[in-house]
Chain A
Amino acid sequence: MSALAPTPSSSPWTFQRRLRIYRLEAGYELLKMLRLPMYSVPALAFPMVFYLLFGVTFGQRGEMATHLLAGYGAFGVIGAALFGFGVGVAIERGQGWTEIKRASPMPPSAYFTAKIFMSLVFSALIVAGLSALAVVFCDVRLPGVSWLALTASLLLGALPFCALGLALSYVCGPNSAPAVVNLIYLPMAFASGLWIPIHVLPEWIQTAAPALPAYHLDQLALAATGLTTQESPGIAILGLLGFTVLGLAGAHLGYRRSEGKTWG
């Protein structure tokens, strides 16, 4: 009978064990995605290939090369977050993998923390790669503080897109998720000025751009490099926070709606 007596309702793990769950979950999440060329190759290579094409081959220097560094940096980290979360979570739920995890005693936060970690590592690799290209081929020179500010704004600025990706994962099924994410990601990147600087784009796109989360991240990254921007960093941060709340609310709603949808 003693085996049936309820154990105290404290956590079944010590702090060290809990830490170990988070560490292993994050490590294997990263390993899983790095080994998945369908994800890792486009996530890491596309921003750098674009920078090589539009920055290096056009012989951009100075201000324009810095502009493109911020833009393709934002483009890269947004892609890693939207695909890692939106497509990744949708697929794992569709395959029933999420349900196996839910039936285990894994703390649900470990699952999401691991995905955030994975997307941050990809973001860091993208930012490092782009920065190296910018320095070596385009003679981009920034003060140390600016490099730090640029890296920090791109890494932290990826978080709202993790939340938006998570919300998208509940809207789309596992099969449609890659297409839906691309349909949102690519036009948004263009209209936010990530590929071609926003001030070169038509007036009406410039007017509409603040409705897009990517625009705010680009503005924040530009401000970090010391270039002149259309909106102040404070407004950009507020915009990104707003989209984070929107993403989390959407994800919460989607999670509650999805309960019990799959059965047999």
Chain B
Amino acid sequence: MTPVSSSSDGPLAVARLDGVTRTYGPVVALEGVDLGVERGEVLAVLGPNGAGKTTLVKLLLGLLRPDSGTVRVFDRDPSHRHSRVRTGALLQTGSVPATLKVREHIELFRSYYPAPRPLDQVLSLAGLSGLAERPFGKLSGGQQQRLRFALALCGDPDLLFLDEPTAGLDVEARRALWQGIRELVARGVTVVLTTHHLEEADALADRVVLLAQGRIVTQGSPAEIKDRVDGRRISCRTRLPVAEVASWPGVLSAEQDGPAVALLARNPEDVVRRLLAGDSDLSHLEVRSAALEDAFLALVADSRRETPNDSPNDSSNRSKEVAA
């Protein structure tokens, strides 16, 4: 298990959780989480559905209280108005009142803050210029998400929480939102975002925290996490059954990928030797380094091995997320 507490105690932590546990009845959403968010960083909280990502964000926003442990934002209780005027939040939510126009929504939210960002800046950062007079209900899905993003920017926040900001967006809308996030980061805004898109974490984050079943499995820069898995991607066309290959020692995962078999293996040399020995007609052999996605898969699998009391529901979620 990787030590996880090293970076949570820095003097520059703008937000932190110490020993936080939160349950919903019998369900443990977060268990003993220690996490510090440092000024100016982009922290991606990565994990499958049900891992506790949204709970973590809601605790940091003061929308939920921990059962035990402490949550501090700007050295205050997160529900304190003085921390709220310095934070912005994009939550996973259904709907914003449909009959009010983009400009009206933004103007109202700007009034909540002592030093709001000018309307034009909010519109352009969120990519809503030209849509100011359109009612929320007449926006496309991607534009609606951009309005939620705009609302998070109204207060010119120092700290921005984005809960699955690009969930349900098409590729183009996702890239546009990433661009907006990058512009804010360049201005020194600290960002905490949750995602189950590994590509998103890789593209935006300085640091990735991997959450599974309410616990931090590991954390580090995207590159560090990739390095932490010495696995390699192997792909080839072979007559060997996938199920058999999957059971070989060192094979982390194996799946059929069109005509080819795709493997993630810890010891690629041994696996390749065995593949060639087992199938003399094997072709299209390829070996390359693992992506963040593979690292994620391997690390979650490791954490599961250590906690055998998994619910079957979780593991089905996991394969779905990773495939996405």
A interface list, Cβ under 8 A from B:
1, 3-7, 9, 11-13, 17, 20-21, 24-25, 28, 31-32, 35-36, 92, 94-97, 99-100, 102-107, 259-260, 263-264
Given contact pairs A32-B100, A105-B85, a sample of 20 additional A-B residue pairs in the complex whose CB atoms are under 8 Å apart: A1-B11, A4-B75, A6-B76, A12-B81, A12-B82, A17-B111, A21-B112, A24-B108, A95-B95, A97-B94, A99-B93, A100-B151, A103-B84, A103-B87, A104-B112, A105-B112, A107-B81, A260-B64, A264-B54, A264-B92
> Cβ of B97: which chain A residues have Cβ within 8 Å of it?
32, 92, 97
Minimum CB–CB distance from A164 to chain B (whole Å) comes to 23
B287 close to A (CB within 8 Å): no
What is the chain A residue whose CB lies nearest that of B148?
Answer: A100
Q: List 5 A-B contacts (CB under 8 A).
A: A28-B100, A36-B99, A94-B94, A96-B94, A102-B63
B84 with A104: CB separation less than 8 A: yes
B178 close to A (CB within 8 Å): no
> Cβ of B12: which chain A residues have Cβ within 8 Å of it?
4
B108 with A103: CB separation less than 8 A: no
Contact of A105 among B81, B93, B107, B151 (CB under 8 A): B81
> Cβ of B61: which chain A residues have Cβ within 8 Å of it?
103
Task: Render B49-69 as a binary contact track against A, CB cut-off 8 A, 1 for contact.
Answer: 110001100100111110000
Contact of B93 among A7, A28, A31, A96 (CB under 8 A): A96
Given A4-B14, A9-B82, A105-B155, also A96-B100 (CB < 8 A): no
B89 with A103: CB separation less than 8 A: yes
Minimum CB–CB distance from B91 to chain A (whole Å) comes to 6
Contact of B54 among A17, A31, A263 (CB under 8 A): A263
Minimum CB–CB distance from A142 to chain B (whole Å) comes to 37
Question: How far apart sit A105 and B50, CA to CA, in the bound complex (Å)?
Answer: 28
Contact of A11 among B55, B64, B81 (CB under 8 A): B81
Contact of A263 among B55, B82, B114 (CB under 8 A): B55
Q: Which parts of B261-320 form the interface with A (CB within 8 Å)?
A: none
> Cβ of B24: which chain A residues have Cβ within 8 Å of it?
260, 263
What is the chain A residue whose CB lies nearest that of B61?
Answer: A103
A12 with B85: CB separation less than 8 A: yes
B96 with A100: CB separation less than 8 A: yes
B91 with A103: CB separation less than 8 A: yes
B93 with A21: CB separation less than 8 A: no
B29 close to A (CB within 8 Å): yes
Task: Render B28-64 as a binary contact track against A, CB cut-off 8 A, 1 for contact.
Answer: 0100000000010000000001100011001001111
A32 with B111: CB separation less than 8 A: no
> Cβ of A100: which chain B residues have Cβ within 8 Å of it?
89, 91, 93, 96, 148, 151
Q: Is the interface of B mostly helix, strand, loop or mixed?
A: loop
> Cβ of A31: which chain B residues have Cβ within 8 Å of it?
99-100, 104
Question: How far apart sit A105 and B111, CA to CA, in the bound complex (Å)?
Answer: 10
Given A95-B95, A263-B58, also A3-B158 (CB < 8 A): yes
A35 with B99: CB separation less than 8 A: yes
A12 with B14: CB separation less than 8 A: no
A25 with B108: CB separation less than 8 A: yes
Given A103-B63, A104-B109, A105-B84, also A95-B114 (CB < 8 A): no
Given A4-B74, A35-B99, A260-B24, also A95-B104 (CB < 8 A): no
> Cβ of B112: which chain A residues have Cβ within 8 Å of it?
21, 104-106
Question: How far apart sit A264 and B100, CA to CA, in the bound complex (Å)?
Answer: 28
Question: How far apart sit A172 and B62, CA to CA, in the bound complex (Å)?
Answer: 25
Q: Which parts of B83-141 form the interface with A (CB within 8 Å)?
A: 84-85, 87, 89, 91-97, 99-100, 104, 107-109, 111-114, 135
Minimum CB–CB distance from A15 to chain B (whole Å) comes to 13
Given A11-B81, A28-B100, A263-B29, also A20-B94 (CB < 8 A): no
Given A3-B158, A105-B84, A105-B85, also A95-B93 (CB < 8 A): yes
8 nearest A-B residue pairs (beta carbon): A96-B93, A35-B99, A105-B84, A95-B95, A95-B94, A103-B89, A105-B85, A103-B61
What is the chain B residue whose CB lies nearest that of A11?
Answer: B81
Question: How far apart sit A264 and B92, CA to CA, in the bound complex (Å)?
Answer: 9
Minimum CB–CB distance from B105 to chain A (whole Å) comes to 8
> Cβ of A9: which chain B residues have Cβ within 8 Å of it?
82
A13 with B114: CB separation less than 8 A: yes
What is the chain B residue whose CB lies nearest that of A35?
Answer: B99
> Cβ of A107: which chain B residues have Cβ within 8 Å of it?
81
Minimum CB–CB distance from A93 to chain B (whole Å) comes to 11
> Cβ of B94: which chain A residues have Cβ within 8 Å of it?
94-97
Minimum CB–CB distance from B16 to chain A (whole Å) comes to 12
> Cβ of A264: which chain B residues have Cβ within 8 Å of it?
49-50, 54, 92
What is the chain A residue whose CB lies nearest that of B24?
Answer: A263
What is the chain B residue whose CB lies nearest that of A92?
Answer: B97
Question: How far apart sit A12 and B114, CA to CA, in the bound complex (Å)?
Answer: 6
Minimum CB–CB distance from A2 to chain B (whole Å) comes to 12
Question: How far apart sit A3 and B14, CA to CA, in the bound complex (Å)?
Answer: 10
Question: How far apart sit A94 and B85, CA to CA, in the bound complex (Å)?
Answer: 25
> Cβ of B91: which chain A residues have Cβ within 8 Å of it?
96, 99-100, 103
Question: How far apart sit A1 and B92, CA to CA, in the bound complex (Å)?
Answer: 32
